[in-house]
Amino acid sequence: MDDLSKQSYWNKRFLIEDSYEWFGDCLRLYPILDLYLKSSPSFILLHLGCGSSSLAEEMYNRHYCHLILNVDYSFCILDKRRSIKKNECLIDWFALDIRAMPLRSEYFDTIIEKGTLDVFFIGHEHCLWNPSEELKEKIDLILTQISQCLRSDSGRFISISFQQPHFRRPFLAKQKYQWSIQVHSISDGNESMEYFVYVMTKGEQMNEEDRLLEEGKSTKWTWINKQESLRQITTYYVDEQDDQYLLNINIEDNE
Ligand SMILES: C[S@@+](CC[C@H](N)C(=O)[O-])C[C@H]1O[C@@H](n2cnc3c(N)ncnc32)[C@H](O)[C@@H]1O
In this prediction, residue 124 carries a pLDDT of: 85
pLDDT tens across 102-139, in order? 999 999 999 999 999 999 999 888 888 889 999 999 99
What's the angle, vertex CA 85, arms to CA 84 and CA 87, rounded to 5? 130
> Which amino acid residue places its CA nearest to atom 23 of ligand 1?
49
In degrees and rounded to multiples of 5, residue 210 shows phi and psi of -70, -35
Q: Which atom of ligand 1 is nearest to the CA of 118?
A: 1
CA distance linking residue 79 with residue 92, whole number of Å: 10
Q: How many Å is the Cα radius of gyration of the chain? A: 20
* pLDDT over 70 at 3, yes or no: yes
CA of 73 to the centre of ligand 1 (A): 8
Give the residue with greater pLDDT, 221 vs 148.
Answer: 148
Closest CA to ligand 1's atom 3: 115
Say how many Å lie between the CA of residue 233 and the centre of ligand 1: 39
Pairing of strands 91-95, 65-72: parallel
Average the pLDDT over 31-54 and give the result. Answer: 94
Q: Report the pocket of ligand 1 as residue ranges, CB < 6 Å.
A: 10, 20-22, 49-51, 53, 72-74, 97-99, 114-116, 119
Highest CATH level, class, for 7-224: alpha beta
105 vs 32: CA distance, rounded Å: 27
Q: Nearest Cα to 142, choosing from 202, 77, 97, 204?
A: 97
Q: How would residue 144 be classed by pLDDT, with cut points 50, 70 and 90?
A: very high
Strand ranges (E), 10-64: 42-48
CB 181 within 8 A of CB 157: no
Are 71 and 97 contacting, i.e. CB atoms less than 8 angstroms apart?
no
What tens digit of pLDDT does each residue of 170-185 get?
Answer: 999 999 999 999 999 9
Q: How far is the CA of 228 from the centre of ligand 1 (A)?
A: 37
Ligand 1 centre to CA of 116 (Å) is 4
Rounded to an integer, what distance in angstroms lies between the CA atom of residue 166 and that of residue 177?
A: 19
Among 12, 26, 29, 116, say which to mutate for ligand 1: greatest number of ligand atoms within 8 Å of CB.
116
What pLDDT is attached to residue 234? 41
Top mutation candidate among 14, 72, 141, 145 for ligand 1, by most atoms within 8 Å of CB: 72
Cα→Cα distances 51→11, 143, 216, Å: 10, 20, 36
| Ligand 1 midpoint to CA 144 (Å) | 18
24, 77, 84 from 87: Cα distances, Å:
26, 18, 9
User: Would you state the pLDDT for residue 233?
Assistant: 38
Single out the residue of 176, 74, 174, 159 nearest to residue 121, CA to CA. 159
